Amino acid sequence: MPVKGYECRLRVLFAEMKLKDPNFKLETFAKKVGISRTTLYSIVNEKSLPSFDVAYTIASELEMRIEEIWKKNDH
């Protein structure tokens, strides 16, 4: 279940990355942004929202804006 108020696009973005690079691993990405694999899975599966610092670091690593990854729902 998504965290109330936000839709996370990381699952789709990571699937696209895996298609482009079969060697892409969530574990490696988690290390790059300084969080555990478990924390990253929790964020990707919309069980929790990251802190601003983590969201900013993820967005920077993906070369995207935060609002391109986490979209605020209107409901």
Taking only the tens place, the pLDDT of each residue in 13-54 is 999 999 999 999 999 999 999 999 999 999 999 898 899 999
In this model, does residue 4 exceed pLDDT 80? no
Q: Top-level CATH class of 9-64?
A: mainly alpha
pTM above 0.85, yes or no: yes
DSSP assignment of 25-68: -HHHHHHHHT--HHHHHHHHTTS-PPPHHHHHHHHHHHT--HHH
How confident is the model over 36-47, as pLDDT tens digits?
A: 999 999 999 989
For 8, the 3-state DSSP assignment is strand
pLDDT at position 2 is: 58
| For the chain, domain boundaries | 9-64
- 10 vs 12: CA distance, rounded Å: 5
